[in-house]
Amino acid sequence: MLVEQTMQKLVSMKLPGMAEALRRWLERPKEKDMSPLDLIGLLADAEWNDREQKRLTARLRNARFRQDASVEDIDYQHARGLAKSVMLDLAACRWVTAHQNVIFTGLTGVGKSYLACALGQKACRDGYTVVYRRASRLLDEVAQARADGSHFLLLRRLAKTDVLILDDFGLEVLNAAQRKDLLEVLEDRYGTTSTIVTSQLEPKEWHSVIGDETIADAVCDRLVHNAHRVKLGGESIRKVKGDLTKAQKTAK
């Protein structure tokens, strides 16, 4: 009865990890010779791990990644000029601690979005908050927030996010409101957080899609000058895999 009451108290105090660890320990009589200090350590570690896992799950859910990607599953066999040493260095997330940026450029299909999501997922695992958005979708959200009165709250949330992923930047020319919104988002984050950008265009071509020389200079200043640049080449991975699948079906 005392054990059941203890378990109920642990759950009511929102210590489910500790309660579950105690239950497992009670089911293994051979391990009951632990000292009280060792048992307390076991229960504390279990609660810590349970809370950390829940925080990670929440960070991954809130990030809303486009792809289920991880740095451990990156393909280095495809010829696209991706150095494993570069990605391993970025996977250490020192660039996040230093409030630096990462820019992936290359033609469509070479895996820019996957790499961005993989780094974002690793940042989540390391305890950082991440938000993934296609660039056009983010600008639509900012415009909508201005219309419904939640503009300030959205900008504050973006400003506090450790890593913002702007995917597919430069697909469309920005209008006057969009380029001002983009600059506002980046200005709030500059020097205190990190941004990952993927684009088919090299940064020197961004001025044409931003549309205003002065604002383009300001945007590039906040994104490019402290960024790790990764330029990808080669054929589209999707095309190569598609051709391989067709060849396999033909062979059958």
Buried b (16+ CB within 10 A) or exposed e, 136-174: bebbeebeebeeeeebeebbeebbebbbbbbbbbbeeeb
pLDDT at position 39 is 77
Neighbours of 7 (CB within 10 A): 17
Domain boundaries, the chain: 2-62, 64-239
Closest CA to 187 of 213, 220, 163, 145: 220
Q: Is the pTM of this model over 0.75?
A: yes
3-state secondary structure of 228: strand
Three-state DSSP class for 108? Answer: coil
The 3-state DSSP class for residue 110 equals coil
Look-up of token digits 């020389």: 213
Q: What is the pLDDT of residue 244?
A: 40
The domain covering 64-239 belongs, at the CATH homologous superfamily level, to P-loop containing nucleotide triphosphate hydrolases (3.40.50.300)
- Tell me which residue of 181, 182, 196 sits closest to 226, measured CA to CA: 196
Q: What is the mean pLDDT of each run of 10 residues along the chain (252 residues)?
A: 75 82 76 72 82 90 94 89 94 97 94 96 97 96 94 95 97 94 95 96 95 94 94 74 45 49
Measured CA to CA, the distance from residue 196 to residue 55 in angstroms comes to: 22
Looking at residue 32, what is its pLDDT? 57
Other CB atoms within a 10 A radius of the CB of residue 189 amount to 23
Query: What Cα–Cα distance (Å) separates residue 57 from each residue in 61, 97, 117?
Result: 6, 21, 15
Is residue 129 classed as helix, strand or coil in its secondary structure? coil
Q: Is residue 163 within 8 Å of residue 195, measured between CB atoms?
A: yes
Question: Which pLDDT score, from 0 to 100, does residue 2 have?
Answer: 75
Gap between the Cα atoms of 61 and 54, Å rounded = 10
pLDDT of residue 228: 97
Q: What are phi and psi of 130, to 5 degrees?
A: -135, 140
HSE-up (13 A, CA, CB side) for residue 192: 10
What does the pLDDT read at residue 22? Answer: 78
3-state DSSP call for residue 132?
strand
Three-class SS state of 229 = strand
Query: Whose CA is closest to 206, among 191, 222, 190, 220?
Result: 220
CA torsion 8-9-11-16 (nearest 10°) is -110
